[in-house]
Structure 1
Amino acid sequence: MYVRHLSLGDFRSYHTAELPLGPGVTTFEGLNGQGKTNLVEAIGYLATLGSHRVAQDAPLVRFGAEQAIVRGVVVRDGRETLVELEISPGRANRAKLNRSPLTRTREVLGSLRTVLFAPEDLALVKGDPSERRRFLDDLLVQRQPRWAGVRADYDKVVKQRNALLKSAAPVLRRRGRRRPAYDRPPEAEDRSSALHTLDVWDQHLSQVGASLLYARLRLLRDLGPYLTTAYDEVSAGASDARATYRCSLHEEAAAAIAAGEVPELPELSELLLDSLGRVREQEIERGVTLVGPHRDDLVLQLGELPAKGYASHGESWSFALGLRLASFQLLRHDLREDPVLILDDVFAELDAGRRSRLAGMVSDCEQVLITAAVGDDVPTELAEGARFHVKRGEVSPA
């Protein structure tokens, strides 16, 4: 799989851009702030419908423009697919495949797959749990695009349940004595109705949440061996890297999952329902959902110590890079084809040994896109491919 051509219209700093690409290594050189990362960000957006730099779409549209257009010609097994995205902040984005409009933009997912490593990935090691949850979920979608719908459904359930907990909190906190129905005050009826509605949302969350949790656990089980190998190769076997899953289920279930157990889907649904029941009073007091995949974390460890807070800067970089390279190898194994590998401003942060080892690991990938402020930062093993010079939003062959 590779991108043969990229077209941009009013994307970031580019009014227009037409960029021919091909298999092998392509390097974009230029000083910081000239638009190198914008190019690979656009390719990543075609694959994931999201940016690795910002959470919202508005910054992706050139200042003064109403929308941005990103088009890419993707080649797979000798067949070409034209993927087109229209990014319109404040309105629904639109998508086309081979010029045919799609009902939902997420229907383009799977047409192009990328693995992108950038300086922002240090947040995988040093940042909040939300960064690591996003890593898992994004990889799930790259692996099987249908998980985008499951993740969207789960987010809706949590949002609706939180809204109920907040709006009905005063009613839910009322207790009072049990009375026969004919002698029950109106507020007791209100509380009974609110509790029934909460029970319904508990069922929804336990079902959709169990699906997402099951998928994450299976993904992590499959990713683990690739992570260990990738970290060893990048860091020359300096330490044992591994990842475990910390979930918000009750203590006994959480311990089993942290030890590597992957319960079946019906059992996970029951565990979620049971855990929700145990924290219901706390949720009512706080007005927020305390159990579910949105509260979980991926615990990264080097040997017996957590990477967060203990890993050096170099070890953190190696761990983040190991996660991305492991993702690449997992997708390569699953799909029987290479995703596009993007290395955004990576080599400047690596010492000579890590640069050389990384070059050796990616030299056989079908398409590698590299950005670098200084061309000499790119190892000689990768320096023979196509090169472009980027300056003030203009791209020209180097």
Structure 2
Amino acid sequence: MMYLKSLKLEHFRNYRECGVSFCPGINVVYGDNAQGKTNLLEAIFYLSNAKSFRTHSDRELIQFGQEDAGIATELFLGDREYNISVRLSSAARRRLCVNGIPRRTAAEFAGTFRTVLFSPEDLYLVKEGAAVRRKFMDFFLCQIRPRYARALAEYTRLYEHKIRILKDCGEKPSLLSTLEDFNLRLAQAGAVLIHYRALFSSLLSQTAAGIHSDFSGGTEVLSIRYKTVKTVPDPAAQPKEILPFLLEHQKGLYRAEIETRSCLSGPHKDDLEIDINGKPAKSFASQGQTRTAALSMKLAERELHCGDGGEYPVLLLDDVLSELDPRRQEFVLNRITGGQVFVTCCEDERLGRLLDGAVYHVETGTVK
């Protein structure tokens, strides 16, 4: 079984210093707003992903007035114990370690243990723009496929360079001579992203459809399709087979990219098309239907982690139950057995049915 035994924080967000032990089952964390409940989950999430789900800046994670912050955990995975730590600094590079051994990159660090985060924002997974659904795919795949994490980091870096070239080429036409090399390397990294996203989307559709059917009592059919560069005939093909189709698409948009000063070709425009009973959920689904679809997708994500790694990931439910009606609350609670769970909420009055674990009260950066 995978579970966090303990967590230590130092100058992380509003925690000056904190050390707390957890149980392998359900851990309920309650308290008023702005006391540090979500910060606790953010620290756990960072230890599994080498990134925050709330900000792109590590500096924002360091307590105001401090120069450094630390996060550390003892983790059990099967019959092995791991010590994972992060040291954040405003003046130097962060330090990521697993069992005392430094990890140079996020791709090397992420995935030692896995988490699935479910926050109120995820209830808008169906209705929001494509960027939210790409982020959903990226968080999952970066944890289970180091090759994907490396390709995503490379693609993001090259994409930002290409955008700068396109924006500056009017004043410096010579920059266009570098575009061919950037396009090739972007297509190589992009082919890896497309391959893994296509495989993930297929499994997600199958798993989420079964959960959604149970949720709706068999009255609704959920389907999810992966949408990527239109010239790619088989997104699930091997990256080397996808590459020439990406290069073809880039070539066709070369002049348009220069005229618009924007990158028009590549998986940075990917999306998941979600239908309920054959109709686009984004346009036609009710609020209840979209929430049920989003819940089904997040619960499916947890099942896919278990299917891939043989263990349930650590599940982080950040104040999501308060956003759901009683029927959906019950459905979620019945689906989260079998692994370690962290549930944050503002009140503890409904916690009796969860008490096969432990309850913690958070107040002004202190856990009791």
Q: Give me the TM-score of the superposition, normalised by structure 1.
A: 0.86
* Offset at residue 102 of structure 1 (A): 3.0
Choose from 375, 380, 383 the match for 2:348: 375
Match of 2:246 in 1: 272
Q: Distance in 2 between matches of 1:169 and 1:233?
A: 56
* Offset at residue 151 of structure 1 (A): 0.5
Q: Distance in 2 between matches of 1:80 and 1:283?
A: 51
Q: Distance in 2 between matches of 1:218 and 1:105?
A: 23
Q: What amino acid sits opposite 1:265 in the alignment?
A: P
Question: What SS class does the counterpart of residue 198 from structure 1 fall into?
Answer: helix
Q: What amino acid sits opposite 2:119 in the alignment?
A: A
Counterparts of 1:210-221 in structure 2, within 5 Å, are: 210-221=191-202
Choose from 269, 281, 297 the match for 1:295: 269
Larger radius of gyration: 1
Contact 1:124 1:132 survives alignment (8 Å): yes
Question: What SS class does the counterpart of residue 126 from structure 2 fall into?
Answer: helix
* Offset at residue 137 of structure 1 (A): 1.3
Go from structure 1 to structure 2 and tell me whether the alpha carbon gap of 1:54 and 1:197 turns closer, same or farther (over 3 Å shift).
closer
Q: Deviations for 1:184-238, whole angstroms, at most 9, x for unmatched residues?
A: xxxxxx5xxx555322222212211111111111111122211112223344444
Contact 1:53 1:120 survives alignment (8 Å): no
1:151 aligns with 2:125: no
Match of 1:34 in 2: 35
CA RMSD of aligned residues (A): 2.0
* Offset at residue 70 of structure 1 (A): 0.6
Go from structure 1 to structure 2 and tell me whether the alpha carbon gap of 1:51 and 1:268 turns closer, same or farther (over 3 Å shift).
same
Contact 1:34 1:392 survives alignment (8 Å): yes
Q: What amino acid sits opposite 2:101 in the alignment?
A: S
Question: What SS class does the counterpart of residue 125 from structure 2 fall into?
Answer: helix
Q: Distance in 2 between matches of 1:219 and 1:2?
A: 24
Question: What SS class does the counterpart of residue 284 from structure 2 fall into?
Answer: coil
Relative to structure 2, which stretch is displaced further, 197-206 or 268-277?
Answer: 197-206
Match of 1:207 in 2: 188
Go from structure 1 to structure 2 and tell me whether the alpha carbon gap of 1:67 and 1:128 turns closer, same or farther (over 3 Å shift).
farther
Question: What SS class does the counterpart of residue 367 from structure 2 fall into?
Answer: strand
Contact 2:11 2:66 survives alignment (8 Å): yes
Choose from 340, 345, 369 the match for 2:319: 345
Q: What amino acid sits opposite 1:391 in the alignment?
A: E
Counterparts of 1:359-398 in structure 2, within 5 Å, are: 359-363=333-337, 365-378=338-351, 380=353, 382-396=354-368
Relative to structure 2, which stretch is displaced further, 230-239 or 17-26?
Answer: 230-239
Q: What amino acid sits opposite 1:373 in the alignment?
A: C
Q: Distance in 2 between matches of 1:9 and 1:135?
A: 29
* Offset at residue 344 of structure 1 (A): 1.2
Q: Distance in 2 between matches of 1:110 and 1:64?
A: 31
Contact 2:49 2:106 survives alignment (8 Å): no
Match of 1:358 in 2: 332
Q: Distance in 2 between matches of 1:28 and 1:353?
A: 22
Go from structure 1 to structure 2 and tell me whether the alpha carbon gap of 1:288 and 1:140 turns closer, same or farther (over 3 Å shift).
same
Match of 2:140 in 1: 139
* Offset at residue 273 of structure 1 (A): 0.7
1:331 aligns with 2:305: yes
Q: What amino acid sits opposite 2:228 in the alignment?
A: C
Contact 1:355 1:379 survives alignment (8 Å): no
Q: Distance in 2 between matches of 1:233 and 1:324?
A: 15
Contact 2:30 2:37 survives alignment (8 Å): yes
* Offset at residue 23 of structure 1 (A): 0.7
Q: What amino acid sits opposite 2:308 in the alignment?
A: D
Question: What SS class does the counterpart of residue 126 from structure 1 fall into?
Answer: coil
Q: Distance in 2 between matches of 1:290 and 1:304?
A: 29
Q: What amino acid sits opposite 1:56 in the alignment?
A: S
Q: What amino acid sits opposite 1:318 in the alignment?
A: T
* Offset at residue 105 of structure 1 (A): 4.4
Counterparts of 1:77-88 in structure 2, within 5 Å, are: 77-88=78-89
Match of 2:62 in 1: 61
Contact 1:249 1:272 survives alignment (8 Å): no
- Which consecutive segments of 4 or more residues in structure 1 shift more than 6 A? none
Contact 1:328 1:339 survives alignment (8 Å): yes
Q: What amino acid sits opposite 2:273 in the alignment?
A: V
* Offset at residue 310 of structure 1 (A): 2.9
* Offset at residue 50 of structure 1 (A): 1.8
Q: Distance in 2 between matches of 1:23 and 1:102?
A: 27
Percent of aligned pairs with the same amino acid: 34
Q: What amino acid sits opposite 1:339 in the alignment?
A: P
Go from structure 1 to structure 2 and tell me whether the alpha carbon gap of 1:358 and 1:377 turns closer, same or farther (over 3 Å shift).
same
Q: What amino acid sits opposite 2:345 in the alignment?
A: A
Q: Distance in 2 between matches of 1:210 and 1:104?
A: 21
